[in-house]
């Protein structure tokens, strides 16, 4: 060994101590040797000094090696121990090893080669044990840390569950409040609308132009407010699972044409072209016509609201797997890709400020998303800022009742490349096979 080893020899026989020192020196071991003659001295020295190995005579004047080893281990003094046994002491070697001795050696076998080999072995074993103890200690510490973290995670999970319960209760109370207040407000609003319509009838008296203008404003604002209340009421029903589809067989092209006719005056007021294109071999579907109409009204209302100039197209056509698709496309302000993931959230608009240019509750697309999911359909959004937006709604030709809303959201947004955004034919009477598609370009 190249390193200098600190060795302690515990033996009351000076001859034996000299024999050990001589054997180690002849073996070429570099040692720093210390010697004591009894167990008390050995314990005192080992309490304050660290040694690489201790050669311990089994029979000491004040105690035997077994007692000293037990005393050292109980005091948590760790050091490689080689017990030197005399003739007839071999039978207690098992007890010595169990008590904490690293190895044993009969005094009759002491030689440079034997002693050197034993010394190397016990130091190697001791160092391996130290590394194992260190690794075990690290494992214990890691285990304790994991236990602590698991306890902390459990506490956090309990807090999250409690918060979730509170949020669910708050959401339930919010939905109940919205449904109640919307329902209560609809009654006086219907009265305001009804009496306004009566006042505008000639048979109830002729109004001056100024009076008629004021009554018409009351009527229009009342209808607008009623529409907002209906949106809130529908959304609260959808959230609470209280809205059911009432499916029947109907002509979807007639519903679309009816909605377009109703919305045309709003488009004309902004000088917008409103075009319709239908390509259905079989226009009959099994769905809720009222809710299909509501979806289309919301889409067209948004398209008209967010389009200052240009055109709006409505297209309905068949898809494989017994489905139909309704497409509403405009040349409006468009939607930025970063807003795609939020556009279908309730009470959410791209412009959330109170001074926003475009009013509304922000519930229209959320209601559409929920209704489409109830119908087992999907929504696809394609949009570019400054160019316009396209909403595609794919619906099964025949929905299944009772309908359970799917877990996954119906909306799927994707950003278009320059060549992906097409303008359908402007002639509403032109068939889909004749329709040309010219891509918008961004300079």
The predicted-structure confidence for 202-234, as pLDDT tens digits, reads as follows 777 788 888 888 988 888 888 778 777 777 666
Residues 204 and 266 in one domain: no
The tokens of 333 are what? Answer: 């302000």
CATH number of domain containing 97: 3.40.50.2300
**74 plus 204 within the same structural domain:** no
* Residues ≥6 apart with Cβ < 8 Å to 160: none
Residue 201 and residue 257 share a domain: no
Contact present, 82 and 7 (Cβ < 8 Å):
no
- Residue keyed to tokens 């709604």: 393
**What confidence category does residue 402 fall into, taking pLDDT thresholds of 50, 70 and 90?**
low
Would 286 be classed as within a structural domain?
yes
Taking residues 308-323, report their average pLDDT: 92
Contact between 385 and 333 (Cβ < 8 Å): yes
Exposure string (b/e) for 322-357, b if CB count within 10 Å is 16 or more? ebbbbbbbbbbbbbeeebbeebbeeeebbeeeeeee
134 within domain boundaries: no
Are residues 33 and 19 in contact, defined by beta-carbon separation less than 8 angstroms?
Answer: no
Is residue 196 domain-shared with residue 296, that is, in the same domain? no
Report the sign of the C-alpha dihedral through residues 57, 63, 64, 65, in that order: negative
pLDDT averaged over every residue in the chain: 80
Whole-angstrom Cα distance, residue 223 to residue 212? 16
Which residues span the domain enclosing 235?
167-240
CB 6 within 8 A of CB 54: no
Longest Cα pair distance anywhere in the chain, in angstroms?
140
What are the C-alpha distances in Å from 317 to residues 21, 131, 283? 103, 75, 9
179 and 281 within one domain: no
Same domain as 276, residue 187? no
Q: Is the pLDDT of residue 429 over 50?
A: no
State pLDDT tens for residues 112-132. Answer: 888 888 888 888 888 888 888
Mind listing the pLDDT tens digit for each residue in 234-292? 666 676 666 788 899 999 999 999 999 988 888 998 999 999 998 888 999 999 998 89
As a whole number, mean pLDDT of residues 74-100 equals 82
pLDDT at 240: 65
Which whole-number Å values give the CA distances from 17 to 25, 46, 113, 192, 406, in the listed order? 12, 18, 17, 117, 87
Whether residue 195 sits in one domain with residue 76: no
Residue 329 lies in a domain: yes
pLDDT value, residue 348? 58
Vertex 211: Cα angle to 207 and 217 (nearest 5): 125
Across the beta sheet with 103-106, the strand order is: 31-36, 5-10, 53-57, 81-85, 103-106
CB 304 within 8 A of CB 264: no
pLDDT over 70 (residue 152): yes
pLDDT for residue 393 is more than 90: yes
The answer on 292 and 213 residing in a single domain is no
Both 213 and 267 in a single domain? no
* Phi-psi label, residue 212: left if phi above 0, alpha if psi -120 to 50, beta otherwise: alpha
Q: For residue 73, what pLDDT is reported?
A: 87
The answer on 317 and 289 residing in a single domain is yes
Give me the helices (H) in 205-363, please. Answer: 209-240, 252-269, 289-305
Most confident of 17-21, 83-87, 312-316: 312-316
Mean pLDDT over residues 297-308, rounded? 90
pLDDT score, position 347: 56
319 lies in some domain:
yes
255, 399: one domain: yes
pLDDT, tens only, 345-368: 765 554 444 334 454 456 778 888
Give a yes or no: residue 178 inside a domain: yes
For residue 387, tell me if it sits in a domain. yes
Cα gap 385→196, rounded to integer Å: 41
Task: Decide if pLDDT at 417 tops 50.
Answer: no
Residue 381 lies in a domain: yes
- Measure the CA angle with vertex 398, ends 393 and 399; round to 5°: 75
Which of 206, 240, 274 corresponds to the end of one domain? 240
Per-residue pLDDT at 41 = 92
Contact yes or no for 99/73 (Cβ under 8 A): yes
The pLDDT tens digits of the residues spanning 22-68 come to: 888 888 888 888 999 999 999 999 999 989 899 999 888 988 888 99
In DSSP terms, 6 is beta-bridged to 32
| 160 or 188, which is more confident | 160
**What is the domain count for the chain?**
3
pLDDT at 89: 64
The arithmetic mean of pLDDT across residues 333-347, rounded, is: 77
| Residue 125 counted as domain residue | no
Q: Could you give the strand order of the β-sheet that contains 411-415, starting from the edge strand earlier in sequence?
A: 273-279, 311-319, 323-330, 388-396, 378-384, 411-415
CATH number at residue 268: 3.30.565.10
Nearest to 369, CA basis, from 228, 236, 238? 238
Q: 223, 240, 257: which is the final residue of a domain?
A: 240
Of 240, 266, 297, the residue that ends a domain is 240
Same domain, 316 and 431: yes
């Amino acid at each position: 060994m190249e390193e200098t080893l600190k060795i302690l020899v515990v033996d009351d026989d000076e001859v034996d101590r000299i024999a050990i020192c001589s054997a180690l020196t002849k073996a070429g071991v570099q040692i720093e040797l210390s010697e004591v003659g009894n167990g008390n001295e050995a314990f005192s020295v080992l309490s304050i000094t660290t040694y690489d190995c201790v050669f311990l005579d089994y029979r000491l004047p004040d105690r035997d090696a077994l007692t000293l080893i037990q005393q050292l281990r109980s005091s948590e003094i760790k050091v490689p121990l080689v017990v030197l046994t005399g003739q007839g002491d071999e039978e207690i070697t098992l007890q010595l090893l169990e008590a904490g001795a690293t190895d044993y050696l009969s005094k009759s076998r002491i030689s440079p080669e034997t002693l050197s080999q034993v010394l190397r072995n016990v130091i190697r074993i001791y160092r391996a044990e130290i590394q194992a103890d260190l690794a075990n200690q690290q494992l214990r510490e890691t285990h304790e840390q994991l236990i602590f973290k698991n306890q902390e995670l459990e506490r956090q999970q309990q807090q999250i569950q409690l918060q979730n319960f509170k949020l669910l209760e708050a959401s339930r109370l919010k939905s109940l409040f919205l449904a109640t207040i919307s329902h209560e407000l609809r009654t006086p609003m219907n009265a305001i609308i009804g009496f306004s319509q009566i006042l505008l009838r000639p048979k109830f008296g002729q109004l001056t132009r100024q009076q008629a203008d004021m009554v018409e404003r009351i009527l229009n604002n009342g209808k607008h407010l009623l529409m907002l209340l209906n949106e809130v009421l529908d959304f609260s029903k959808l959230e609470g699972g209280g809205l059911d589809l009432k499916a029947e067989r109907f002509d979807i092209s007639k519903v679309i044409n009816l909605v377009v006719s109703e919305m045309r005056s709003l488009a004309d007021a902004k000088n917008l072209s409103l075009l319709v294109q239908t390509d259905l071999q079989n226009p009959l579907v099994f769905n809720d016509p009222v809710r299909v109409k509501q979806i289309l009204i919301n889409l067209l209302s948004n398209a008209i609201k967010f389009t200052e100039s240009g055109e709006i197209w409505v297209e309905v056509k068949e898809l494989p797997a017994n489905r139909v698709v309704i497409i509403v496309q405009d040349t409006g302000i468009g939607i930025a890709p970063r807003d795609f993931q939020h556009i279908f959230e309730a009470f959410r608009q791209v412009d959330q400020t109170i001074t926003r240019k475009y009013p509304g509750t922000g519930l229209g697309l959320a209601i559409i998303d929920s209704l489409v999911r109830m119908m087992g359909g999907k929504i696809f959004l394609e949009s570019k800022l400054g160019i316009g937006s396209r909403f595609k709604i794919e619906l099964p030709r025949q929905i299944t009742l009772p309908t359970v809303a799917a877990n996954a959201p119906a909306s799927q947004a994707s950003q278009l490349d320059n060549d992906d955004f097409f303008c359908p034919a402007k002639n509403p009477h032109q068939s889909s096979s004749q329709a040309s598609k010219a891509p918008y370009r961004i300079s």
